[in-house]
Structure 1
Amino acid sequence: MTTALLTHSDALGHVTPPGHPERVARLEHVLHALEPLDLMRVTAPMAAEDDLLRIHPRSYIDMLRDALPEEGFAQLDPDTFLSPGSLDAAWRGAGAAVRAVDLVASGEAGNAFCAMRPPGHHAETETPMGFCLFGNAALAARHALDHHGMGRVAVVDFDVHHGNGTQDLLWDERRALFVSSHQMPLWPGTGARDETGAYDNVMNVPLAPGTDGGRMRAVYQEEVFPRLRAFAPELILVSAGFDAHADDPLANLEWEEEDFAWLTRELCALADELCGGRLVSVLEGGYDLAALAASARAHVTELKEAAG
């Protein structure tokens, strides 16, 4: 078995205004860092509209289409922009998440990483925000549940910002467990411990500014991993944001590359223990280019090691 890497050049066509942190160079640096690794390289397909309709209403998809500019930028909120290539990028990001689940569920790949942008975990049911347009991790979860007939899936989000979009999209989904560790206080201001989902299917683990890798490891060992074992998912999905890195300009946690490697290794071990190794990871944040590239490579190297 091997690790599948899903990407597409369309993801480079989502252009943001000068100085915007979620920029084309993010993906260029990630792909350059992953280039030496021996991976199953898969072209990310466009998502089918029926797939997107699992999580977003048609009115939302139509709104994005109507807002797409022919040139320049369209601003959806203070942080979120569309350029002429943005929807192709977003549709391929959603398609990558769906295809990755297919590859792992069928046994064609041991696990998978979707190196796409824009990210997805802030996109709510009818609201684009936080650089995000479609909820890729939530879509992957619903695809696994509805298309592959899995009974339980877990989404683990270690991005430094709370995955409010994934939480919103899975709030009423009793078959999914959403776990988010994130800095608090920090934008978007959600993710308190008392936000637990309609069926006690949401677990938020706020971390204080300055939390380092040692404290993160203790929190995951004491709180997150036991919850995942109790839930016993048939697939683990990961929202892999690397902006908890000490060098990231948008937040104040103090993780290093080896912390992302450790967390990935532990999640892969849990996937091996609970669900035949089935794990799909999607790229979220990370805004210091060097830290992002190094952390993504550490993450995918551990995926590759786990896939054998």
Structure 2
Amino acid sequence: MSLLLVTHRACLDHSNGPDHPECADRLRAVLTALEAEEFAGLIREEAPPATAAQLGLVHPQDYIRAILAIRPAGEEIVPLDGDTGMSAGSAEAALRAAGAGIAAVDAVCRGEVKRAFCAVRPPGHHAEPRRPMGFCLFANAAIAARHAQAAHGVERVAILDFDVHHGNGTQLAVAEDPSILFASSHQFPCYPGSGAEGERGVGNVFNAELAPGSDGAAFRAAWAERLLPAVDAFRPGLIVISAGFDAHARDPLAQLRVREADFAWLTGEICRLADRHAGGRVVSTLEGGYDLPALASCTAGHLRALMHD
């Protein structure tokens, strides 16, 4: 199956500061893995910058202006919180990261491809409508989902997040909207402290807590027994994936023990749901993952599953 890869070199120019785990080498590792011969058939596109109107589907315009006005000089890093900074290249990178999801949605909704993957940074799922946090500036997945509704008339969108950290920003952006389902598995307790199973939004939020040390069997059970049945019942017209690979056993920022095969299994299950309800339409965007070899191998496995017909 043809798969669209959307990325942009500007995403390499964002920096949170020296020795920060969310660094350009993450994206370099992913892109190097995707140069393998098995991925020669990928359709590759450069991510356009998101417009203020597109970002405004999730974020207030005063927030957007404030973030884009931060343009440090030289090697300066402007800290936004204890984890998140902006460098000279950050504003452009953030626009391209959000724009990648928009371009991917356009391609799948126009029928040009069934599935797309956005190899971008900064990630997005911690960015709240009015607050950057957790390495994130704009809510990439939520913006993509809203764009599918606004530009293509998709009635129901499911956002599925398997990053080890709860996507608090995505949840906050959609929790009052029954036309968007948010489902997340994540280590709990862990940063950012949200994601308890009792958080239900308006009946459209589904969280699965995984205790530190949980392995691939627990990860698969959370999705197979709780989250995927909720998605199946919702019958989405498009699935957006927040694809974080920091639940991997080697990742330094959390304590789950998920493996590459577990991520690939879940990707396949998601694609089967998309085939059943959404004409196969899946847009995936990169979130976390901080052990570089694990990130590269898990992303490659994720794309193999997305490419499988």
TM-score of the pair, normalised by structure 1 = 0.97
- The residue number in structure 1 matching 2:111 is 107
Inter-partner Cα distance in structure 1 for 2:243 and 2:199: 21
- The residue number in structure 1 matching 2:25 is 25
Q: How does 1:110-121 map to 2 (within 5 A)?
A: 110-121=114-125
Inter-partner Cα distance in structure 1 for 2:160 and 2:205: 10
Of 79, 82, 86, 1:78 maps to 82
Inter-partner Cα distance in structure 1 for 2:223 and 2:16: 34
Q: How does 1:240-259 map to 2 (within 5 A)?
A: 240-259=243-262
Inter-partner Cα distance in structure 1 for 2:58 and 2:169: 11
1:34 equivalent to 2:37? Answer no
- The residue number in structure 1 matching 2:268 is 265
SS at match of 1:222: helix
Letter in 2 for 1:57: P
SS at match of 1:227: helix
Inter-partner Cα distance in structure 2 for 1:65 and 1:92: 12
**Unaligned residue ranges in structure 2 (runs of 5+):** none
The alpha carbon displacement at 1:49 in A equals: 1.3
The alpha carbon displacement at 1:16 in A equals: 2.6
The alpha carbon displacement at 1:65 in A equals: 2.5
Of 283, 293, 307, 2:296 maps to 293
1:167 equivalent to 2:175? Answer no
- The residue number in structure 2 matching 1:193 is 197
The alpha carbon displacement at 1:253 in A equals: 0.4
1:151 equivalent to 2:155? Answer yes
Alpha carbons 2:26, 2:292 under 8 Å: kept: yes
Letter in 1 for 2:34: L
The alpha carbon displacement at 1:64 in A equals: 1.0
Alpha carbons 2:210, 2:218 under 8 Å: kept: no
SS at match of 1:169: helix
Alpha carbons 2:104, 2:283 under 8 Å: kept: yes
The alpha carbon displacement at 1:68 in A equals: 2.6
1:122 equivalent to 2:126? Answer yes
SS at match of 2:152: coil
Inter-partner Cα distance in structure 1 for 2:175 and 2:199: 9
Letter in 2 for 1:76: L
Q: Following superposition, which runs of at least 4 residues in structure 1 exceed 3 angstroms of deviation?
A: none
Inter-partner Cα distance in structure 2 for 1:43 and 1:83: 21
Inter-partner Cα distance in structure 1 for 2:71 and 2:198: 37
The alpha carbon displacement at 1:67 in A equals: 2.7
Q: How does 1:49-88 map to 2 (within 5 A)?
A: 49-71=52-74, 72-88=76-92
Letter in 1 for 2:7: T
Figure out how many residues of one structure are paired with residues of the other and give that number.
305
Inter-partner Cα distance in structure 2 for 1:116 and 1:259: 22
TM-score of the pair, normalised by structure 2 = 0.97
The alpha carbon displacement at 1:88 in A equals: 0.3
The alpha carbon displacement at 1:25 in A equals: 0.1
Q: C-alpha root-mean-square deviation of aligned residues, in Å? A: 0.9
- The residue number in structure 2 matching 1:6 is 6
